[in-house]
Amino acid sequence: MKRPVCVDNINAKRHIEDSFKSFMSKYFSRGPGVVKGYIMEDVVLVYCEDFLTTLEKNLAKDEIGQCYVQIIRKKISDEYGDFLVDMIETSVGRDVKTFYLDCNVANNSLCCVFMLNEATEVC
């Protein structure tokens, strides 16, 4: 069995969190209030709270508005998915096999899961 690549968890987590905040600030004119990154073997998880812009918060006051916000966020994640994947690959030094992004507009939270090709070992 191949030994996992050793990743400096603290620096990789910090890089992921800072890069995600920068990405959100650049493309949405504001970053999320909270960003937490987690690295577990072959999974990288990024969780954000308070990520909606003022416009999106106002739009999301009813169910139809929430659907519109989710559609817009999905389109953006499709457009900038390669950028997010590159950000994770740079942080952990492993290739990303696939990723999933889900936002819960009602509670203003966002979760991205990146599946890596190979496991990492925290050191």
pLDDT value of residue 122: 59
Backbone angles phi, psi at 88, to 5 degrees: -70, -45
Q: Which of 91, 89, 90, 114 is nearest to 101 (CA)?
A: 114
> What angle separates helix 9-28 from helix 63-92, to the nearest 10 degrees?
140
Average pLDDT for the chain: 88
Backbone angles phi, psi at 67, to 5 degrees: -65, -40
Contact 87, 23 (CB under 8 A): yes
Backbone angles phi, psi at 118, to 5 degrees: -135, 155
Give start and end residues of each alpha helix (H) in 29-118: 54-59, 63-92
3-state SS class at 38: strand
pLDDT value of residue 58: 94
At 58-92, the pLDDT tens digits run 999 999 999 999 998 888 888 889 999 999 999 99
